[in-house]
C-alpha cells in the first residue's frame, strides 16, 4: 500500500493557507465542506427529509405572500414585495437544493397570478435572495458576496425588462440608454450590500430554528 509522503501534506497545507490568504472566495468554494462542519453541508441529501421540505414550503409560501402583497396593500405593496428576498435567502442558507426548490415554486405560484411578476421575481428579488443565502452559507468574503449577487440581479433585471419591453429606469431612454447597465450594476451592488448585514442578523437570530 502506497503511503503519502509527509512533505506532500505540508505542501498541501501551505497551498491551502496561501489560497485562503490571496483568494478567499476561491478557497471558500473549494474547501468549505471540508473545513466547516457546522450546519447542513451544501451537498447533503438532508433536503429530502420531511422537516427540510416543510421549511422550504413555508419559506416559499412566505415569499409568495410578500410578492403578492401589492394586490391587497397597494400603498406599501412594493416595499413588502422587496422583502421576498429574505425567505428565499433563508431557504438557500438551509441547503442549496431547498433554496432552488423554494425559488422555483414561488415563481410558479406567481406565474399563476401574473407571468411578468413571476419573471421579475426570478430575475430580481428571487435570484438575489438565492445567491445571498448560498454564498453566506459558504462564508464567501463580503466583497465577492456583494459583487456576485448584485451583478446577477442587475443582468437578470435588464434581460427581463428588455424581453417584456418594460423600462427599468424611464429617465435613461434613447440617448442615455448606454448608462443603463452601469447604473443598474451600481444600484444592484449597493442594494445587495444593504441586504447582507440584514440577512446575517436574521440568520443569527434564527440559528436554532434553521
Q: Do the domain assignments include residue 29? A: no
Query: Domain span at residue 110?
Result: 47-205
Mean pLDDT of 184-192: 90
The set of residues, in sequence order, having a beta carbon less than 8 Å from that of 99 and lying 6+ positions away, is: 56, 88, 89, 91, 92, 93, 130, 133, 134
**Domain annotation covers residue 40:** no
| Position 116 in a domain | yes
Burial class (CB in 10 A: 0-12, 13-18, 19+), 204: exposed
| DSSP secondary structure code for residue 169 in this structure | S
> Of 88, 103, 86, 94, whose CA–CA distance to 44 is shortest?
94
Q: How many CA atoms lie within 13 A of 82 on its CB side?
A: 9
Question: Does any domain span residue 12?
Answer: no
Give pTM, 2 decimals. Answer: 0.74
Flag whether pLDDT at 28 surpasses 80.
no
Establish if 23 belongs to a structural domain. no
Does residue 62 register a pLDDT over 60?
A: yes
Tell me the pLDDT tens digit for each residue of 108-160: 999 988 888 888 899 888 999 999 998 888 888 888 889 989 899 888 888 88
Count Cβ neighbours within 10 Å for each residue of 56-74 and write b for 16 or more, e otherwise: beebbebbbbbbbbbeeee
**Residues constituting the chain:** 210
In a domain, 24, yes or no: no
Q: What is the CA radius of gyration of the chain?
A: 20
Give the pLDDT of residue 74: 66
In a domain, 119, yes or no: yes
Digit-coded pLDDT (tens) for 86-120: 999 999 998 888 899 999 999 999 998 888 888 88
Residue that is written with C-alpha cell 512533505 in the block: 7
Q: Is residue 42 part of a domain?
A: no
* Domains in the chain, number: 1
pLDDT at 100: 92
Amino acid at each position: 500500500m502506497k503511503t503519502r509522503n509527509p512533505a506532500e501534506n505540508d505542501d498541501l497545507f501551505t497551498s491551502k493557507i496561501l489560497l485562503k490568504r490571496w483568494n478567499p472566495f476561491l478557497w471558500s468554494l473549494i474547501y468549505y465542506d471540508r473545513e466547516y462542519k457546522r450546519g447542513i453541508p451544501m451537498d447533503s441529501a438532508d433536503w429530502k427529509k420531511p422537516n427540510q421540505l416543510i421549511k422550504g414550503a413555508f419559506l416559499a409560501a412566505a415569499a409568495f405572500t410578500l410578492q403578492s402583497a401589492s394586490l391587497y396593500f397597494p400603498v406599501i405593496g412594493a416595499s413588502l414585495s422587496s422583502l421576498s428576498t429574505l425567505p428565499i435567502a433563508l431557504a438557500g442558507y438551509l441547503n442549496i437544493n431547498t433554496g432552488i426548490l423554494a425559488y422555483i415554486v414561488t415563481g410558479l405560484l406567481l406565474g399563476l397570478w401574473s407571468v411578468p411578476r413571476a419573471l421579475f421575481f426570478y430575475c430580481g428579488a428571487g435570484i438575489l435572495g438565492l445567491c445571498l443565502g448560498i454564498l453566506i452559507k459558504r462564508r464567501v468574503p463580503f466583497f465577492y458576496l456583494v459583487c456576485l449577487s448584485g451583478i446577477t440581479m442587475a443582468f437578470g433585471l435588464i434581460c427581463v425588462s428588455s424581453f417584456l419591453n418594460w423600462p427599468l429606469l424611464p429617465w435613461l431612454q434613447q440617448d442615455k440608454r448606454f448608462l443603463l447597465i452601469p447604473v443598474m450594476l451600481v444600484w444592484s451592488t449597493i442594494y445587495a450590500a444593504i441586504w447582507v448585514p440584514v440577512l446575517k442578523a436574521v440568520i443569527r437570530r434564527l440559528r436554532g430554528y434553521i
